[in-house]
Amino acid sequence: MQHAIPVASLGPQAQPMADAIGSCVHCGFCLPTCPTYVTMGEEMDSPRGRIFLMKEVLEGELELEVALPFIDNCLGCQACQTACPSGVNYGELITPFRAYAEEHRHRDPMDRAQRELVLRTLPHPRRFRLAARLGRLGRPFAGLLPASMGSMLRLLPDRVPPAQPLPPVFPAQGERRARVALLAGCAQQVLAPDINWATLRVLARNGVETVIPAQQGCCGALAMHTGAAERAKPQARRNLAAFPADVDAVITNAAGCGSGMREYGLLFKGEPEEQAAQRLSDRTMDVSAFLDALGLRELPSVAPDPIPVAYHDACHLAHAQGVRSAPRKLLEASGAVRLVEPAEWELCCGSAGTYNIEKPAIAHQLGERKARNLLATGAQLIATGNIGCMTQVQQHLAALGHDIPVLHTLQVLDRAYAGTLHTKEHTA
């Protein structure tokens, strides 16, 4: 697509935005993979429609406020990127555009207050744990609150697990094959701390020593993907200083976090930290991709009656990071499961960071659609690689009257090693 974007005057991130816009040929291959286009049927709520709107805004031909309703509807799932035959890097357009928009848009007081609450709570495990416990008391009144606030309360679990602090180092078992550093995450530490411990145990079984840097913090993905780039930068700088260079990889086990860290080079484009940020981005891998590349050293015993498991592709793993086969190969290698594939794997479940809070109606449609597709597989367990997806899918399965457990891929593998996947323990 031809454009006349004034790249020189818009800052260092303008060139990636212009390149993405210039790559789009408006072929429409993205339409059936876009969750908002599929549910709403509006051209301006499709990737190519949004690309046109962003182009017009950046060229000064369209008022930002006219485009924002359609841009805000985007989940940032990047399914369009997977489907695109022209290689449009939509992720390098939507993230910096949202940062640009945030500097120029008007938000009403309620919107600003909710946004501030989320940005000041979710990235801080202690604050989030306290807020989650207090929020459960307010759930009976969720229907009396604005839709987004009510949605936030409904997403809270019935029980917040106690904190499970991580050690500075978790040693490898047997001969050491690799040494990695783990991003502990934020919301995940509160909602499902067992994911990190399962990750440490599985890595150790496979000869991997894991360092958990004490000075690390939030990866910044939540702020970055919602346009608050200036709030994401201090969080990213903290991690640039915290993660050691003498490790084979920096490991993430939450798709959104991994995607965020892999965008550090873009976040700091044109700034002094750009090269260091890009180096950390290049060393960051999802744990499933790392283990698949390393190869499982100790395979669990093959179960006589494998459990049918549906794998749900988290968007920021499948689309943003291009990781689809690795978690499936690990699950099959566990010897305890039989994979069953859901329809419409490419469609987002509606979690998308804070999307299910900001756009609860669309998120509900997508969540229910995802839950029905997963149920149609006949699976007895759902596996995925992102805490946000786990929360969203579990909520919508429960709303449909099903209590099928939803586990992280590494939790499934951990239970297979322990021989507990076929017991009631696998639901814990």
Task: Read off the pLDDT of residues 73-125 as tens digits, 9 standing for 90 and up.
Answer: 999 999 999 999 999 999 999 999 999 999 999 999 888 888 898 899 989 99
Between residues 249 and 151, the one the model is more confident about: 249
Segment 220-238 shows an average pLDDT of 95
Residue 72 pLDDT > 50: yes
349/351 Cα distance (integer angstroms):
6
Residue 424 pLDDT > 70: no
The DSSP annotation for 86-148 comes to: T---THHHHHHHHHHHHHH----HHHHHHHHHHHHHTT-HHHHHHHHHHHHHHGGGGGGS-HH
Segment 127-138 shows an average pLDDT of 82
Say whether pTM exceeds 0.85. yes
Residue 412 pLDDT > 70: yes
Q: What is the DSSP letter of 208?
A: E
Segment 178-182 shows an average pLDDT of 98
Q: What number of helices (H) and strands (E) belong to the chain?
A: 24, 9
What average pLDDT does the chain have?
92
150/143 Cα distance (integer angstroms):
6
Share of the chain above pLDDT 70, in %: 95
With cut-offs at 50, 70 and 90, classify the pLDDT of residue 131.
Answer: confident
Q: How many CA atoms lie within 13 A of 281 on its CB side?
A: 22
CB neighbours of 308 closer than 8 A, spacing ≥ 6?
A: 337, 338, 340, 377, 378, 379, 380, 381
Find out whether 62 and 53 touch, Cβ atoms under 8 Å: yes
What are the structural domains, with CATH classification, of the chain?
7-104 (1.10.1060.10), 109-154 (no CATH), 169-293 (3.40.50), 300-427 (3.40.50.1860)
